[in-house]
Chains A and B, each alone.
Chain A
Amino acid sequence: MQMLRNRSIRSAIIITTTVITVVALAITLFTTLVNFNITTARIVESSSEEINKQLVLNYENYIDNVTETANYISQTTNEYGLNGNYQDLNSIYAQASNIQSDIVNIALLDQYGKKVYASRDDGVNGELVSSKWFNKALETKEIFHFSSPKSQDIFLVNSNEKVITVSKSVKYYIDNEKYEGVLVIDLSMNNINNIASRTNLGEGGHIVILAADDTLVFSNLMSCTTNNCESVQIVDKYNIGSKQVVVDETDMFLSINTLKNTRWRIASFINSEDIAVSRRNSQILSLTVLVFTFTITILAATLIARRISNPIFKLRDHINTINNGNYQKIKLEGQKEVVDLADNFNQMIDETVVLMDQLVTEQKAKRRSEFKALTTQINPHFLYNTLDSIMYLSESNENEKVQRMVAALSKFFRISISRGKNVIKLEEELEHAKNYLLIQQIRYNEKFTFEFDIDERTLDFRVVKLVLQPLIENAIYHGVNTEFDQGHIIIRTLIKNDRLHLEVEDDGYGIPEKKIGELYQDIKGEDSYSSVGLKNVYQRLKIYFNNDSDLEIESELDEKTIFRLVLPLERSKK
Chain B
Amino acid sequence: MKRIILVLSLLLLSGCQPQRPVKVDMLIYNTNDNYMYQFANDILDLSSYDIKYAIVDSENSQILQNKQINELIENDTKILLVNPVDRLGAYVTINAAKAKDIPIIFFNREPLKEDLEMYDKAFYVGAKAKESAMLQAELVKEAFGPASELTRYDANNDGVIQLVILKGEESHQDAEIRTNVIISELEAAGYQLDILAIAGADWVKEASYEKMLDLISLHQGKIELVVSNNDAMAIGAIEALDDQNIFNDVNSNGQFDIDADSFIPVVGIDGIPEALRLVEEGKLYGTVINDSKESAVKIVELVRALVKNEKVDDLKFEITDDHYVWVNYKKISN
Contact A82 B195, CB 8 Å, known A240-B92, A260-B85: yes
B200 touches A75 (CB 8 A): yes
- B182 to chain A minimum Cβ distance, whole angstroms, is 12
Return chain B residues, CB-CB under 8 Å to A260: 62, 85-86, 88-89
Contact with A along B194-216 (1 / 0, CB 8 A): 11111010000000000000000
- A178 to chain B minimum Cβ distance, whole angstroms, is 7
Whether, in the assembled complex, A53 has its beta carbon less than 8 Å from a beta carbon of chain B, the answer is yes
Interface residues of B in 74-132 (CB under 8 A from A): 85-86, 88-89, 91-93, 95-96, 99, 112, 114-115
Contact with B along A256-277 (1 / 0, CB 8 A): 0111111101000000000000
Return chain A residues, CB-CB under 8 Å to B99: 239
Return chain B residues, CB-CB under 8 Å to A258: 62, 66, 86, 89, 92
Whether, in the assembled complex, B156 has its beta carbon less than 8 Å from a beta carbon of chain A, the answer is no
- A255 to chain B minimum Cβ distance, whole angstroms, is 9
A257 touches B66 (CB 8 A): yes
Return chain B residues, CB-CB under 8 Å to A240: 66, 69-70, 92-93, 95-96
Whether, in the assembled complex, B176 has its beta carbon less than 8 Å from a beta carbon of chain A, the answer is yes
Whether, in the assembled complex, B170 has its beta carbon less than 8 Å from a beta carbon of chain A, the answer is yes
Whether, in the assembled complex, A34 has its beta carbon less than 8 Å from a beta carbon of chain B, the answer is no
Cα–Cα, bound, A498→B32 (Å): 126
Contact A239 B176, CB 8 Å, known A56-B63, A176-B194, A263-B91: no
Q: Which of B170, B177, B196 is the most central at the interface, judged by chain A CB atoms within 10 Å of its CB?
A: B170
A142 touches B171 (CB 8 A): yes
Return chain B residues, CB-CB under 8 Å to A171: 180, 183
Whether, in the assembled complex, A310 has its beta carbon less than 8 Å from a beta carbon of chain B, the answer is no
Cα–Cα, bound, A212→B87 (Å): 13
- A187 to chain B minimum Cβ distance, whole angstroms, is 16
B197 touches A142 (CB 8 A): no
Return chain A residues, CB-CB under 8 Å to B167: 75
Q: Which of B89, B95, B176, B183 is the most central at the interface, judged by chain A CB atoms within 10 Å of its CB?
A: B89
Return chain B residues, CB-CB under 8 Å to A168: 171
Interface residues of A in 91-112 (CB under 8 A from B): none
Return chain B residues, CB-CB under 8 Å to A257: 62-63, 66
Whether, in the assembled complex, A140 has its beta carbon less than 8 Å from a beta carbon of chain B, the answer is yes
Q: Quick one: which of A71, A72, A142, A173 contacts B173, CB cutoff 8 A?
A: A142
Return chain B residues, CB-CB under 8 Å to A265: 89, 92
- Could you tell me the dominant secondary structure of chain B's interface residues? helix
Cα–Cα, bound, A53→B172 (Å): 23
- A58 to chain B minimum Cβ distance, whole angstroms, is 12
Return chain B residues, CB-CB under 8 Å to A140: 112, 114
Whether, in the assembled complex, A138 has its beta carbon less than 8 Å from a beta carbon of chain B, the answer is no
A143 touches B171 (CB 8 A): yes
Q: Quick one: which of B89, B93, B177 contacts A142, CB cutoff 8 A?
A: B177
Cα–Cα, bound, A76→B64 (Å): 34
Contact A173 B195, CB 8 Å, known A261-B88, A263-B88: yes
Contact with B along A69-90 (1 / 0, CB 8 A): 0111011001100100000000
- B170 to chain A minimum Cβ distance, whole angstroms, is 3
Chain B residue, CB-CB nearest to A68: B170
Number of interface residues of B (CB under 8 A): 35
Contact A212 B91, CB 8 Å, known A67-B171, A71-B170, A176-B194: yes
Chain B residue, CB-CB nearest to A60: B62
B198 touches A261 (CB 8 A): no
Return chain A residues, CB-CB under 8 Å to B88: 143, 260-263
Return chain A residues, CB-CB under 8 Å to B92: 239-240, 258, 265
Chain B residue, CB-CB nearest to A142: B176
Contact with A along B162-181 (1 / 0, CB 8 A): 00000100111100110010
Whether, in the assembled complex, A241 has its beta carbon less than 8 Å from a beta carbon of chain B, the answer is yes
Q: Which of B88, B114, B196 is the most central at the interface, judged by chain A CB atoms within 10 Å of its CB?
A: B88
Cα–Cα, bound, A257→B92 (Å): 9
Return chain B residues, CB-CB under 8 Å to A49: 67
Cα–Cα, bound, A79→B196 (Å): 8
Cα–Cα, bound, A143→B129 (Å): 14
Whether, in the assembled complex, A141 has its beta carbon less than 8 Å from a beta carbon of chain B, the answer is yes
Cα–Cα, bound, A300→B54 (Å): 62
Return chain B residues, CB-CB under 8 Å to A75: 167, 170, 198, 200
Contact with B along A173-211 (1 / 0, CB 8 A): 100101000000000000000000000000000000000
Whether, in the assembled complex, A144 has its beta carbon less than 8 Å from a beta carbon of chain B, the answer is yes
Cα–Cα, bound, A267→B86 (Å): 17
Return chain B residues, CB-CB under 8 Å to A173: 195
B62 touches A239 (CB 8 A): no
Cα–Cα, bound, A49→B89 (Å): 18
- A254 to chain B minimum Cβ distance, whole angstroms, is 13
Contact A141 B96, CB 8 Å, known A74-B170, A82-B198, A240-B70: no
Return chain A residues, CB-CB under 8 Å to B183: 171, 178
Return chain B residues, CB-CB under 8 Å to A259: 89
Sample of 17 more A-B contacts, CB < 8 Å, known A242-B70, A258-B86, A260-B88: A53-B63, A56-B63, A67-B171, A71-B170, A75-B170, A82-B197, A140-B114, A212-B115, A239-B95, A240-B66, A240-B70, A257-B63, A258-B62, A258-B89, A258-B92, A259-B89, A263-B89
In the A-B complex, the 4 residue pairs with the smallest Cβ-Cβ separation, listed nearest first, are A71-B170, A258-B89, A142-B176, A260-B86
B interface residues with partner A (beta carbon < 8 Å): 62-63, 66-67, 69-70, 85-86, 88-89, 91-93, 95-96, 99, 112, 114-115, 167, 170-173, 176-177, 180, 183, 187, 194-198, 200
Q: List 8 A-B contacts (CB under 8 A).
A: A67-B171, A71-B171, A82-B195, A140-B112, A142-B176, A239-B96, A242-B70, A260-B86
A interface residues with partner B (beta carbon < 8 Å): 49, 52-53, 56, 67-68, 70-72, 74-75, 78-79, 82, 140-144, 168, 171, 173, 176, 178, 212, 239-242, 257-263, 265
